[in-house]
A and B are shown apart, each in its own frame.
Chain A
Amino acid sequence: MSNNTIKKVALCGNPNCGKSSLFNHLTGLKQKITNIPGTTIDRKSAVIHIDGTQYQLIDTPGTYSVNPKSKDEEVALDLFKPNHPERPDLIIYVADAHNLKRNLFYFSQLSELNIPIILLLNMVDVSKAAGIDIDTARLEKELGIPVLETNARVGTGLGDIEKAISGTHFTTHYPFTNEDKSDIQLRYERISGLLKKIVHQKSKRQLITERIDPILTHPLWGYLIFLTLLFVIFQSVFWLAEYPMQGIEYAFDNIGQLLMDVLPENWFRSLLVNGIVAGLAGVVVFIPQIAILFFFMGVLEDTGYMARVSFIMDKILRGLGLSGKSIVPLISGVACAIPAIMATRNIENWKDRIITILVTPLMSCSARLPVYTLLISVAIPDVYLMGIFGLKGLVLLAMYVIGTVGSLVSALVFKFIIRQTRLNYFIMELPVYHPPRWKNIGLQVIQKSRSFVTEAGKVILIVSIGLWFLASYGPNPKTASVLEPTETAQLETSYAGQFGKVIEPVIKPLGFNWKIGIALLTSFAAREVFVGTMSTIYSVEDENNLVNIREKMTNERDPVTGKPVYSIAVVLSLMIFYAFAMQCISTLAVVFKETKSLKWPLIQLFYMTGLAYVASFVVYQLLS
C-alpha cells in the first residue's frame, strides 16, 4: 500500500468551531467513515489531491482538551501518540475567531506534540460583527506558524488552506512551551498574554444570540416554542415519510410478485420472496423516516437550538437518571426508535446515554400504530364521552401516555441499577446561533441512512430469513412439501405454529391463545407484522383490508365457552404487551451497533418483555 507515503493531515478543534463544515467543503462525498475498533467513535477521512499530491485528511472528534473525558475520547486521542500508525504529519487547527481564548487552549496543547501545525481563524465574520478585531499578521509572527482566515460556512479561504497544506514544509515549530504541561492556569495566562497583543475589542456589540436566548429559554415561551416545533416536526415526518414508504412497499410487493411469476415454485422462490425480499423491504422502509427525522434534528442541532433545549430540560430529566441531552432521542422515539438511538451519540455521559438507549424504545413508535388501530377497532366500542371525545381516540392517546410513563419510570429504575463509571457533569457550551449549513446536514442524513442500511440491515435480513424458515417449515415432513407460507393450515403446522402452541401455556394467563402466539413470534421482526400475521391466520386475502380482519377477529368465539375470543380484557392486555415488549429486531440491531456489546440489547430485550408480561398479566387478570 502506498498509504504510508501519503501525508496525513488531521483536522482538530473545539466542538462548534466549524471543523466539520470545513472538512465537508474540502472533501464532499469522498469521505470514508471507519469505526475505531472497540469504541463507538467513527473516524471520517478522505484522500484529497492538491497540485497532484495526495493527502489523507482526517476529521478528529471536536474536544476542548487533550485530557480525555471519556473512554471514547481517550481512544480518539491515541492518534497523537508518538508511535501510532495513523499519527498525522500535519495538524490543521480550526479556531472560532469569536472565542479565541478558549479555542487556543486545545491548540496550545496540540502544538506541543512535535507535529507541524497550521492555525485557521474561522468565523471571522461573526467576531467582526461582535466588534472583535484580530491582527492575523501579528499572530502569525508571534506564533511562528501559518495563520489563515476562513469562513467555513460559506467556504471562503479554502484555496488558501490547500496552498498552506502543500506549502508547509512539515517542519516542527512549537509556539508554546510550558515547563509544566498540566498547569491549566499557566497555559491560560500565556494565551491571555498573547491575545492582549493581537485582539482589540472595539465595542461590545450585542449579538443576535443574546437577544434570542431569553425568549427560547423563557419559562413559558421556551417550552411552548419547543412543543410547537416538535409538533410541526412530527406532523411533517409522518406526512412526508408516508409517500416514500408506500412507494417502497409497493416496489417490493411488485418485485416479490414478479419473482413469484418468473421462478418455478420451490423452496428457493419462497426463500427469495418471503425471506430475502420481505427482509430487505423491512430495512429499506425505515429509510424515509430516518432521513427526514435526521434532517429536522440536524437543522435544530446545527443552528445551535438543541443546546438550548438541553439547557431547559436538564433539571426535569436529571431526577430520572437522564440528562438534558436525552430529550431529543426520547422524543424522536415517538417516530421510530432507530434514529432516536442513533441520536444518543450526542450524550457524552456514558450512564445517561445507556439509560436513554434502554428506555427510548418504550416511547410509542409509529410501528405500534397499526397494531393499536386494529385492536382498538376490534374491541373498543364506538362511543363518545360528553358527546365529543371518542373512546377509541382516548384509548389511543392513553397508549402514548402509557409508553411515555413507562419509559420515564424505567429510567428512574435504571438510575439506581447502573453504576456511574465516569464523571457526571453538565458543562456545556451554548454556541452562537447561525443559519443551518445545508451541506453538513445533507451529508449527515446520507451518512446516517447509509450506516443504518449497511450495519443494522445485515442483522435484520438474517433474522428475517430465520423467521421465514420458522414460518415455512415444520417438524412434520408433510408440511415441508407445502411451500407457500401464506396458507393458514401451513402456518399452523410450521415451526412458528408449533412455537405458538408450545408457548400457549405461558401466554394463557395474559389471555392470549396460540394464534396470538404465532403473531408474537413473527412480529418480533417488526411490530406491524402483527397485522399481516393476523390476516394470514384468519386467511384474509388482502392484509391491508382492516375491516375484514376486524370482522373475523370480532366474530371469533371460544369453542368451549362460546364467548368472544377478543374481549376487552384480551385486547387491552395485548395492547399493553405491544406497548412494552421489545418487538423490534431493528432496534436491537442498532443498540448492538451503538453499544458495541451484546449485553445491552439483551438486557433491553429481557427487561422490556418482562415488563410487558407482568403488565399484560395484571391487566388481563383484573379485567377478566
Chain B
Amino acid sequence: MVLTDIQKGDHVVIIGVKPCEIRDKLMEMGCVPGTSVRLSLKAPLGDPIAFDIDGYCLSMRKSEAAQIEVEHFVEDVK
C-alpha cells in the first residue's frame, strides 16, 4: 500500500520510500520508516494531498505520495 491509497481517518505507518529522485527530500522532511501518518486534507481536485506526519502538516503531489509505502498502524507494535 502507498500513501495515495489511504482514506480520511486511516492511521498508517511508513515502511519505506521507493528509490526515486525525491527520496532524500521526502525522508529529510520526516517521511522515514516508523513514522505515523494520517490524511489531513485533499486539495479540491484531489491533488495535492496534505498529511499529518508525526504532528506536522506536509503537503505533496499525488505522484510524490505514491513513492511512500505504508501499512496500517497496529496498536501493540512497540
Interface, chain A (partner B; CB < 8 A): 64-65, 67, 69, 98-99, 101-102, 105, 130, 132, 184-185, 188-189, 192, 209-210, 213-214, 217-219, 222-223, 307, 311-312, 314-316, 318, 324, 423, 425-432
Contact = CB atoms under 8 A, between A and B. Distances in A.
Contacts of A67: 24, 28
A429 B58 contact: yes
Given A105-B30, A314-B48, A99 B56 contact: yes
Contact of B28 (A98, A105, A209, A223): A105
B58 A64 contact: no
Interface in B24-78: 24-30, 32-35, 40-48, 50, 53-61, 64
A102 B30 CA distance: 6
B22 interface: yes
Contact of B55 (A98, A213, A316, A430): A98
B54 to A, nearest CB: 6
A184 B24 contact: yes
B45 to A, nearest CB: 4
Contact of A428 (B34, B35, B55, B58): B58
A426 B30 contact: no
Nearest to A209: B57
Nearest to B22: A425
B5 interface: no
Contact of B44 (A64, A101, A188, A222): A222
Instruction: Categorize the interface residue count of chain B.
Output: 20 to 34
B43 A312 contact: yes
B59 A311 contact: yes
Contacts of B33: 185
Contacts of B45: 315-316
A427 B29 CA distance: 9
A430 B22 contact: no
Contact of B48 (A65, A98, A209, A315): A315
A324 B45 CA distance: 13
Nearest to B26: A427
B57 A219 contact: no
A334 B30 CA distance: 38
Contact of B22 (A102, A312, A423): A423
A425 B17 CA distance: 15
B59 A430 contact: yes
Contact of A429 (B41, B42, B56, B61): B56
